[in-house]
Amino acid sequence: MDILKPSQPRCLTSKHDRLKLFQFFGGRCALCNRALDHTFEADHIVPWCKKPETNVHKMQALCRSCNRSKGGR
C-alpha cells in the first residue's frame, strides 16, 4: 500500500508545469492582465490549507505584485 507515500508537492516545481500554466493564461496575469515574464508566480486558486493539491488547472498565473497583494503581508 502507498499510505506513506508523500503527498503532492506544494509548489509547481517543475519548469514544465510552470510553462503549462504560463501558456494556459496566455502569458498574462490572471488578475491585472499584464504581460508576464519568467518571474510570474504560480498561485493556488483554492488555498492550500483547504485543498492540498497541486494541479495546474486549479492554479493561476499572477504577476509578482498581484500575488503579493493577494497574499497579504
Contact footprint for Zn ion (CB under 5 A): 29, 31-32, 34, 63, 66
Of 21 and 63, the one with the shorter C-beta distance to Zn ion is: 63
> Smallest gap, in angstroms, from Cβ of residue 69 to Zn ion?
9
- Residue 46 burial (CB count, 10 A): 12
Q: Are 33 and 65 in contact (CB under 8 A)?
A: no
> Smallest gap, in angstroms, from Cβ of residue 2 to Zn ion?
38
64 grid coordinates: 509578482
Of 27 and 52, the one with the shorter C-beta distance to Zn ion is: 27
> Smallest gap, in angstroms, from Cβ of residue 66 to Zn ion?
3
Q: Which of 38, 46, 39 is nearest to 68 (CA)?
A: 39
Of 12 and 63, the one with the shorter C-beta distance to Zn ion is: 63
Q: Are 46 and 37 in contact (CB under 8 A)?
A: no
